[in-house]
Each structure stands twice: as C-alpha cells, then as structure tokens.
Structure 1
Amino acid sequence: MQAIDGFLPAKVAEPLHADEIHVWRLRRPRGAGRAPLLGLLAAYLDIEPAAVRLVAGEHGRPALDPAHGDTLDFNWSHSGEQALLAVARGIAPGIDLELRRTRASALEIAQRFFTADEAAWLATLDEGARHTAFLELWTGREAVLKALGRGLAFGLDRLAIRSDATGLGLLWLDGEDPATWQLQRLDVGADAFAALAWRGAPRRIRRFALADAT
C-alpha cells in the first residue's frame, strides 16, 4: 500500500476536517463493481462495507443513505481499472477521471456539444495539444455536472471551462454564479486526466493512493 500526505490507508478513518476534501486513487479491477468504493466509505463511517447503503439522487447521482447522517458526501469516477474517490463534509464534490486516449472525433464532439468559443479554440491547436485540451475540458465539465447533481443530459453547452497553464476554471454555468464554485485540475500522471469541483469556499485537498482496494 502507498500513502500520500504521510498517512497510510489503514488510517483512512482519521478525521476528515470540514475544510478538507480527501481524494483517493485506487484500483478498480474488472468485475469489482462498487466494492472498492464501499470499502473506503465504510472506513470513514466506521462500519462494515456490507452495511453501507447508497441511494440515487433525482438525476442518478449516488449518495449515502440518510440513515448514515447528512454530513458526509462523496463522488467517484472510474476509467479502465483506475478510480478516484472524493470525500467531503458539508459539500457535494464532483470528480472525474479519464485515461489518456486519442479521440479522432474530439473536435467534432466539441463543435457539437461545447460552447462555440471552446470549439474555436480547440480548432487552433495541433492534434496532440487538441486531444489534451479536449480531455481537460471534458473532465472539468463532468466534475462540475456531478457536483451539481446533474448528468450529461443537463447540456454540455450550458457551462464554459477555462484550461490553461494556471489550471482549470469555471467561466460560466447556466443558472449559477461561477464565482461561488471551485474547479481544480488533479495531477494523476501522464496517463490520465482528472478534475475536482464543488460549490463553496476553497478547501485543502488531501490526496491518498491505495494500491489494492480489493
């Protein structure tokens, strides 16, 4: 097992402070389903994994059953055999993970579903830079929509994302004040892209890695 920030996974149940978000990177082997997720949530709740109960929100976002209390919230994302889990108190985090892969239709997708300005910007980039930028805009969108409690059906063109050397930023979100939102790029190595979003004040992000969650 590997630890980041000086804590071992065995100490996952150490206090999750109100001004923090814990982000876990873990393996999700084929066929594992929600087992890795339930195992980590159980550690935070100090119960057995089999006792963790999840419910689906109005638009399908999974959440802890109210029987577990209303202070702890989470979101997770998986791509291939990797997964990210964000856990926080008092906010609804949204997280997205995408493994690096070439999308021949990246510009076409952007022209159809992103804002006109974003699509025009992507069109100015060379192929390699375009695929990187596209995945950054995509993970940023997914993270925001998941924090909002909405899926892709909300409309990918109803928000605008900034991606540059300083990181990610939410420029516009239909019906919301983007200034009240946080959107951050997560460094998950050269083989993947990830973003974390939430509505509320800035928080300290503490990152952990669990080599084998099964």
Structure 2
Amino acid sequence: MLGSVVWTDAPSLPLLRPDEIHVWQSHLIVDVPAESLLRSHLSEDENKRAARFRFDRDRDRFITARGTLRTLLARYLQKRPQDVQFLFGQEGKPALVPQSAGATLSFNLSHSQDVAVFAFGWNRNIGIDVERVRPDVECETIAHDYFSAGEIQSLARLPRQQRAEGFFLCWTRKEAYIKACGGGLQIPLDSFDVSLEPGNPARFLAGVHPSWHISSFMAGNEYPVALVYDGLPVTLQFFSLGRDPHCLPSAC
C-alpha cells in the first residue's frame, strides 16, 4: 500500500491559508444522536433526497456525509451549517452560491463504504476520490473498458497480487481529475494517463495540462485516496474527525 500520512485531530478553528489544501477524513457510521444532529443541518431538498434511498445504510451514509460537509464548510465560513447554500454544475459538482460568502472557497468530497474524505482550498479547482481496495472486482476487465492503452500495459506488468491495488490507485486518480475538472462523462477515462504502480508517487503521464497537480495517500489500510488540484503547488494538511464527525472541538 501507499505510505500513510499523519492525520491530526480536528482543529478548534481551521485556518486555511491560500497556499494550503485541507484534507479531512471521517467515518460514516455514527450513533443516533450524531445522525440526528447532522440531519438537522440538511436543507429540505437534501432531506427529501435522503428519504428516497431504498436502503437504510445508503440513506444514513448520505446524511452523515452531507451533514459533515456542511459542518466543515460552516467552520471555514464562520456560518451555521444550515445556512450554507449549494449550487450544482452541469455534471452535478457542488459549489457554494455567492450568497454563502464562499464564492472563492472550493471543496470536494468522496466516500466509499464507511469512509468519507473532504478537501478544501481557496481559488482553485479541486477533486478528491476514495475507494476501498476490493480483490473481488474484475480489475483487468474494467481496465480494458475504461483505461488508456498505457495504463492497461502498466497494470498487466504488475505482479498479480498487486493488480487490485494498482487498479484502484489508477481509478481514484482518474476520478479525482475528472471531478476537479467538473467534466463528468464529457472527459473519457482513456483520454489521459496516470501512474498506478504501488509505492511510486502519483503522476500525470499524458493528456493533462501542467497546471494540474496530483497527490495520493491512504485513509486507513484499505482506502487509497487521490487529490487533484490546479494552480500553484500547495501544502497539504490532514485532519481526522474520528467517529464523531458532527463534533468539532469548538462546537462540543
């Protein structure tokens, strides 16, 4: 697996500098009081969306992820979580409406099973993606359908026991770039190349403008994360909300 980064405890008041990106991780399984508080932060539309989920686990994960996002944004903007307002691009990427006083605060989130990750920065495009490495996935079949020729060859050269890891490293890196661009399906996955060898740094190899940067790290032992952003290089700060994502120190 990738080398792990140091996830520090949540700061009482996160100070985000222009030359930084803050990355947060949290769990999506919380107790009933925590979920109730997070649900109270959601808008009417978000609560309606939550009610449409067929399975309870999917509804609960949505509530926790969206409620945590609102909690974190509220800290950066010094607002109440329920006062944060979103708008959505053509491909569904969320952003802050100008009335939320956050027109220049960029963010993105992703979750896989019970782990969620969030990224925040000023005046730049950001994309983040997390996936749990699952050995039962038909990695090589999916790669032939979606990866570039160079990535398919790189995956095939890996020892068989590393191919699942290599596949998910590649997948998260490609998804993070597409999310950062806000292009969705308009950007074919095979139109650009990323590195995928376990243990090596994440890199764009072809098809991406030099203004884009990529970083890859772990959230736990089984969850590779990729972060993509544009503009000048930044310092990354890593914070963990543990199993109480509703409760930042200054709010407890």
**TM superposition score normalised by structure 2:** 0.77
**Conserved in 2, the CA contact under 8 Å of 1:184 and 1:196?**
yes
| Residue 193 of structure 1: aligned partner | 224
CA offset digits 1:175-199 (Å, max 9, x no partner): x52x211001123232111110011
Match of 1:43 among 75, 80, 87: 75
Q: Distance in 2 between matches of 1:100 and 1:116?
A: 22
CA shift, 1:78, in A, is: 0.4
Distance 1:154 1:103, change over 3 A: farther
Distance 1:19 1:4, change over 3 A: same
Match of 2:126 among 93, 118, 123: 93
Equivalent position SS for 1:99: coil
**Conserved in 1, the CA contact under 8 Å of 2:170 and 2:195?**
yes
- Matches for 1:135-174 after TM superposition, within 5 Å: 135-164=168-197, 165-173=199-207
Q: Which amino acid aligns with 2:10?
A: P
**TM superposition score normalised by structure 1:** 0.89
Equivalent position SS for 1:206: strand
| Residue 67 of structure 1: aligned partner | 99
Q: Distance in 2 between matches of 1:24 and 1:15?
A: 13
Distance 1:28 1:207, change over 3 A: same
CA shift, 1:67, in A, is: 1.4
Q: Distance in 2 between matches of 1:70 and 1:36?
A: 20
Higher mean alpha-carbon deviation, 144-153 vs 112-121, is at: 144-153
**Conserved in 2, the CA contact under 8 Å of 1:161 and 1:172?**
yes
CA shift, 1:127, in A, is: 2.7
Equivalent position SS for 2:116: strand
Identity of aligned residues (%): 33
Task: State the Cα RMSD in Å.
Answer: 1.7
CA shift, 1:103, in A, is: 3.8
Q: Which amino acid aligns with 1:86?
A: A
Q: Which amino acid aligns with 1:208?
A: F
| Residue 37 of structure 2: aligned partner | none
Q: Distance in 1 between matches of 2:205 and 2:132?
A: 25
The number of residues matched between the two structures is 206
CA offset digits 1:53-82 (Å, max 9, x no partner): 111012111111121232101000001111
Distance 1:131 1:153, change over 3 A: farther
State the 4+ residue runs in structure 1 displaced beyond 4 angstroms: none
Larger Rg: 2
Which structure 2 segments of 5+ residues have no match? 1-5, 30-56, 247-252
**Conserved in 2, the CA contact under 8 Å of 1:78 and 1:98?**
yes
**Conserved in 2, the CA contact under 8 Å of 1:142 and 1:152?**
no
| Residue 112 of structure 1: aligned partner | 145
Q: Distance in 2 between matches of 1:194 and 1:4?
A: 13
Higher percent of residues as strand: 1
